[in-house]
């Protein structure tokens, strides 16, 4: 029997007004893989991830996670959203943020068992000391770690991260990728990570998707990151604004 894909996208098309921001995206990712999604700004990466999570309904096509409709298996998924727009003034502590990953809502009161699990998840990402700190007093990198702990606290089968290391003072993206690899070794989980870091994709991903409204490349890093795929997605490469091939 064929394995049920961890992530299945079939002819996914999303329109915003007159513009198609994703066109006919097909993808099958077997469980246990580490997928890096690359593409220029505005190329539809976050939208694609949101379709996979069931947060955006496609205008056409279909998305499934482990064989069930996107959105119907939230307990199997840990999500680190792109943090550009997160409201830091939200009155909560790092611990409460992590506990919200156990409950899918903000906790009014945190029972000891949940507190223990949340503190352990923070410790796993090197952020135990931040537990009582309010979100408004976290640096960008600290907030990113708290979100990572929130995503992993339920030990999900699929971890989806949208630019988890971009523009923040996190451990280098390399360290983040290693942490995810360790989690994957322990649990057999599938990882999907949006990134602008070609080196991280090359070194850590088992599969790479190069996206710019349509799929320009999908396969092992050496195939999907070939110059012709990148040139189709980015216009051209190796100049100040495109990715540096190295």
Ligand X SMILES: Nc1ncnc2c1ncn2[C@@H]1O[C@H](COP(=O)(O)OP(=O)(O)OP(=O)(O)O)[C@@H](O)[C@H]1O
| The two structure tokens encoding residue 134 | 């309010």
**Is 195 among the residues that bind Mg ion (CB under 5 A)?**
no
Contact region for ligand X (CB under 6 A) — 36-44, 126-134, 177-185, 197-205? 36-44
Q: Which residues contact 182 (CB under 8 A, 6 or more apart)?
A: none
Q: Are residues 145 and 170 in contact, defined by beta-carbon separation less than 8 angstroms? A: yes
89 binds, among ligand X, Mg ion, none (CB under 5 to 8 A by kind): none
Tell me which of 1, 2, 41, 89 binds ligand X, using CB under 6 A.
41
Q: How far is Cα 98 from Cα 68, in angstroms, rounded to an integer?
A: 26
Contact region for Mg ion (CB under 5 A) — 6-14, 46-54, 128-136, 168-176? 46-54
176-192 burial, b at 16+ Cβ within 10 Å, e below that, comes to: bbebbeebbeeeebbbb
With CB atoms as reference, the residue minimizing the distance to Mg ion is 46
Rg (CA), the chain: 18
In the complex, the smallest distance separating the C-beta of residue 163 from Mg ion, rounded to whole angstroms, is 6
**Is 46 among the residues that bind Mg ion (CB under 5 A)?**
yes
**Number of chain positions touching Mg ion (CB under 5 A):** 3
Return residues touching ligand X (CB under 6 A): 16, 21, 39, 41-47, 82
């Amino acid at each position: 029997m064929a394995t049920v894909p961890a992530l299945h996208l079939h002819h996914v098309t999303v329109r915003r007004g007159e513009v198609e921001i994703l066109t006919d995206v097909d993808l099958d990712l077997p469980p246990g893989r580490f997928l890096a999604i690359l593409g220029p700004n505005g190329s539809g990466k976050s939208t694609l991830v949101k379709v996979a999570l069931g947060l955006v309904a496609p205008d056409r096509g279909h998305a499934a996670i482990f064989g069930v409709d996107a959105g119907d298996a939230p307990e199997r998924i840990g999500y680190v959203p792109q943090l550009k727009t997160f409201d830091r003034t939200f009155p909560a502590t790092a611990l409460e943020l992590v506990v919200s990953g156990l409950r899918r809502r903000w906790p009014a009161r945190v029972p000891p068992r949940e507190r223990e699990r949340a503190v352990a998840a923070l410790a796993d990402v090197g952020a135990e000391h931040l537990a009582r700190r309010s979100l408004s007093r976290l640096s960008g990198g600290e907030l990113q770690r708290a979100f990572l702990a929130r995503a992993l606290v339920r030990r999900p089968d699929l971890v989806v991260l949208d630019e988890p290391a971009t523009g923040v003072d996190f451990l280098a993206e390399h360290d983040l990728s290693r942490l995810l690899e360790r989690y994957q070794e322990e649990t057999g989980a599938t990882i999907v990570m949006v990134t602008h870091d070609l080196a991280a994709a090359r070194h850590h991903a088992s599969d790479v998707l190069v996206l710019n409204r349509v799929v320009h490349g999908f396969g092992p890093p050496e195939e999907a990151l070939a110059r012709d795929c990148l040139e189709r997605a980015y216009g051209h490469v190796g100049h100040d604004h495109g990715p540096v091939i190295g």
